[in-house]
Structure 1
Amino acid sequence: MKLFFDLISARTATQSVALDINQCIVAGWAGRDLAAIEHHIEELAALGVPRPSAVPLYYRIAANQISQDGELQAVGPHSSGEAEVFVFTHEGRLLVSLASDHTDRKLESTSVALSKQLCVKPVARAAWLFDEVAPHWDSLILRSWIEEDGQRVLYQEGALASLRPPAELIEGCFGADGMPAGAGMTCGTMAAIGGIRPSTSFEMELFDPVLGRSIRHAYRVEVLPEVA
């Protein structure tokens, strides 16, 4: 799958970057607070969602499920987005962008892996050099909004200090050799304000308060009928 990014740098002019993705990984259960993770696992288990076999857990997603379009299709009205940092390498450098781990919540109670695989993963069209944000990584802010009753509603917000750093996730998934070319990985998300719920509109932002810039992406969901 080919992705295209505007590489925005604080030191140089914006560059166009093309990337061939042949493997996509969603890093789940990626928070730093293990007690909070365990509490969340127990909450989901009460709803029928199976416990993860490991923490963090790396879900492999088909590369053809990645899209930079502003629209996606999903079967049934049960899916919802989650804003996540998206990391990948280009010419030996680690780059940072933004993605949504859009997931079918109805299927999630049967199989978390299948519920993630079923849905397209929207990715933004802008990226930053990791080296430029690494010194203040924990202060970066993830946000998302959904549409409810015709209103734009804040759905997620939190600093990356609550999530494992990407270097730790990369080593946990790929080993000491680091992320290979052609791989992309999402790096965990924030809790939904008011609880996880579906919406046909999803907007997300990765905000850098130190350099005063953002990566944003928005998409809409066309709900396809469930037929038997």
Structure 2
Amino acid sequence: MLLSFSIPTAGGAAALDVAIDHFVIAGWAGRDHAAIEHHIEELAAIGVPRPTAVPLFYRVAANQLTQENCLQMVGPDSSGEVEVLLFSHAGRSYVSLTSDHTDRKLESHSVALSKQLCAKPVAREAWPLDEVLPHWDSLRIVSTITEDGREVEYQNGTLDSLREVRDLALRHTGQPQLPDGMAMSCGTVPVIGGIRPATSFGMMLVDERLGRRLAHRYTVECLPVVA
């Protein structure tokens, strides 16, 4: 899967095309056991079984990554979760933004299948990881959904609640940097008001220290469920 990113530079921006052939989602990636348990209970409330280990790494087809602004999903039961996307190119690590969009109805049957079913939106901008590592814990991920015609906050939390991306890479690959061609979705923060579907999802990675943000928005078209 070829993803295209804009990378900010002192002179403006540089284009970066990255071929991804291995995609993994890091689930249950919190640093704090209580926060992990909170998210497990959120999902248990909608019938999702407890994980067998934490963190847990789900392999998902790389062709599920997309930078389109509209997803097509069967039925009305899917929803997004904002996450940092980690990848490497030419030996350098980068971070961007993704949504672990998931079919919640299928998730109660199989988490792995529910993640595989849905496309994963990816932002069109990225930052070199080394630019944000010195203040990593202060970075913030935020998501919004549209409900009853108005935008409401769905998630908002700093990355100090999640395992640092080099730790996740090390646990999965044995090295603190992902190999070229691999991308990892690196965990999320709790939702506000309970997990629920929405047809419009906005997400941001906010760097208050350097005064910048990555952002992406997408909509969901619900296809009919035909028996």
Normalising by structure 2, we get a TM-score of 0.96
Aligned to 1:201: 200
Aligned to 1:134: 133
Q: Is 1:146 matched with 2:145?
A: yes
The 1:70/1:43 distance shift into structure 2, 3 A limit, reads: closer
Which amino acid is 2:4 matched to? F
Aligned to 2:210: 211
The 10-residue stretch of structure 1 (42-51 or 170-179) with the greater mean CA deviation from structure 2: 42-51
Q: Is 1:115 matched with 2:118?
A: no
Q: Secondary structure at the match of 2:180?
A: coil
Matched length: 227
Q: How does 1:15-54 map to 2 (within 5 A)?
A: 15-42=14-41, 44-45=43-44, 47-54=46-53
Q: Residues 67-123 of structure 1: CA distance to partner in whole angstroms, max 9, x if unpaired? A: 000011111000000000001001111001000000000011000111111000000
Aligned to 1:5: 5
Over the matched positions of the two proteins, sequence identity in percent amounts to: 60
Q: Residues 170-212 of structure 1: CA distance to partner in whole angstroms, max 9, x if unpaired? A: 0111113731111111110111110110000000000000000
Aligned to 1:165: 164
In the aligned structure 2, how far is the partner of 1:39 from the partner of 1:155? 16
Q: Give the gaps of 5 or more residues in structure 1.
A: none
Aligned to 2:100: 101
Q: Secondary structure at the match of 1:50?
A: coil
Q: Give the gaps of 5 or more residues in structure 2.
A: none
- The alpha-carbon deviation at position 40 of structure 1 amounts to 3.6
Aligned to 1:75: 74
The 1:201/1:42 distance shift into structure 2, 3 A limit, reads: closer
Q: Secondary structure at the match of 1:8?
A: strand
In the aligned structure 1, how far is the partner of 2:226 from the partner of 2:124? 34
In the aligned structure 2, how far is the partner of 1:123 from the partner of 1:39? 26
Q: Secondary structure at the match of 2:126?
A: strand
- The alpha-carbon deviation at position 12 of structure 1 amounts to 5.3
Which amino acid is 2:5 matched to? F
- The alpha-carbon deviation at position 22 of structure 1 amounts to 0.2
Q: Is 1:85 matched with 2:84?
A: yes
In the aligned structure 1, how far is the partner of 2:79 from the partner of 2:45? 20
Aligned to 1:181: 180
The 1:145/1:213 distance shift into structure 2, 3 A limit, reads: same
Aligned to 1:64: 63
Q: Secondary structure at the match of 1:107?
A: helix
The 1:12/1:168 distance shift into structure 2, 3 A limit, reads: farther
Runs of 4+ in 1 over 6 A off after TM superposition: none
In the aligned structure 2, how far is the partner of 1:44 from the partner of 1:202? 19
Which amino acid is 1:199 matched to? A
RMSD across aligned positions (CA): 1.3
The 10-residue stretch of structure 1 (35-44 or 16-25) with the greater mean CA deviation from structure 2: 35-44
- The alpha-carbon deviation at position 14 of structure 1 amounts to 1.4
The 1:190/1:40 distance shift into structure 2, 3 A limit, reads: closer
In the aligned structure 1, how far is the partner of 2:202 from the partner of 2:176? 34
